């Protein structure tokens, strides 16, 4: 099973700042930049956690979604922020995928960011449009060998994109990639059949599958 791991990270220098001045942290609201679109599984997980942590720290959390470029926009924003521990990053596999995928990054996420904790592990699933004449993966593969298919993802280098590329390679057919800024923006096209399938974390799309639309 392919799983999506969400991790929180902050600049390495801020870890030292926290270690030296633990009694002064936090001094103001803590900003969490999320490298994914609003309304997804990441949002739900982090809001549940921050509601509890706010009570312990006495400072609120401000969530800011910055999707795009496979998570690079969010990572760069955190790296350029003051290294005082008040700006955190919520990111998925892009943290380790992007250094190998992009050759012109102005930063090194593995050196410029330090992992704080794992927030959640969400199971990945293959969701296909209910408009297709298929009811299982085998039939989807057979269909793809007869007709060219499009697939959705939330960006180049994301786990969903890589899963689809591997799926197409294993099945032996070509696929057309259609990127979206968030999985919520892709849902209408999936339901209508304009894109045929997507690999994504299970929770956000589960209601659509249970309703028979995916």
Domains and CATH numbers, the chain: 3-122 (3.40.190.150), 124-210 (3.40.190.10)
| CA separation for the pair 170, 113 (Å, rounded) | 34
Query: Could you give the percent of the chain with pLDDT greater than 90?
Result: 46
Coil, strand, or helix at residue 123? Answer: strand
The average pLDDT across 152-158 equals 86
The average pLDDT across 68-94 equals 88
Coil, strand, or helix at residue 5? Answer: strand
pLDDT(214) > 60: yes
Q: What's the predicted TM-score (pTM) here?
A: 0.74
Question: Of 185, 207, 186, 212, nearest to 197 (Cα)?
Answer: 186
The reported pLDDT for the residue numbered 9 is: 41
The average pLDDT across 167-176 equals 94
pLDDT(50) > 80: yes
The reported pLDDT for the residue numbered 23 is: 60
| CA separation for the pair 49, 116 (Å, rounded) | 14
Residues in the chain: 214
Question: Of 60, 13, 4, nearest to 32 (Cα)?
Answer: 60
Looking at the DSSP bridge assignments, the partners of residue 7 are 91, 118
Of residues 100 and 197, more confidently modeled:
197
Confidence of residue 8 (pLDDT cuts 50, 70, 90): very low
| CA separation for the pair 52, 111 (Å, rounded) | 30
Looking at the DSSP bridge assignments, the partners of residue 117 are 8
The reported pLDDT for the residue numbered 139 is: 97
The average pLDDT across 3-11 equals 39
The reported pLDDT for the residue numbered 93 is: 83
Chain-centroid distance of CA 128 in Å reads: 19
Question: Of 144, 147, 124, 128, nearest to 136 (Cα)?
Answer: 128
Question: Of 40, 54, 82, 43, nearest to 180 (Cα)?
Answer: 40
| CA separation for the pair 195, 214 (Å, rounded) | 11
């Amino acid at each position: 099973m392919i799983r999506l791991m969400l991790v929180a990270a902050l600049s390495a220098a801020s870890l030292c700042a926290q270690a030296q001045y633990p009694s002064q942290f936090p001094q103001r609201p803590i900003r969490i930049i999320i490298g994914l679109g609003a309304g997804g599984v990441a949002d739900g997980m982090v809001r549940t956690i921050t509601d509890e942590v706010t009570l312990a720290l006495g400072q609120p959390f401000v969530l800011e979604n910055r999707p795009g470029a496979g998570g690079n926009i969010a990572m760069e924003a955190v790296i350029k922020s003051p290294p005082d521990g008040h700006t955190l990053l919520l990111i998925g596999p892009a943290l380790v995928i992007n250094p190998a995928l992009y050759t012109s990054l102005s930063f090194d996420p593995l050196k410029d960011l330090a992992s704080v904790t794992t927030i959640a592990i969400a199971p990945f699933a293959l969701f296909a449009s209910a408009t297709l004449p298929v009811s299982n993966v085998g039939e989807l593969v057979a269909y793809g060998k007869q007709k060219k298919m499009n697939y959705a993802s939330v960006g180049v280098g994301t786990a969903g994109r890589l899963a689809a590329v591997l799926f197409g390679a294993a099945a032996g057919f070509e696929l057309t990639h259609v990127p979206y800024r968030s999985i919520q923006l892709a849902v209408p096209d999936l339901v209508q059949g304009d894109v045929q399938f997507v690999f994504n974390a299970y929770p956000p799309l589960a209601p659509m599958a249970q309703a028979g639309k995916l």
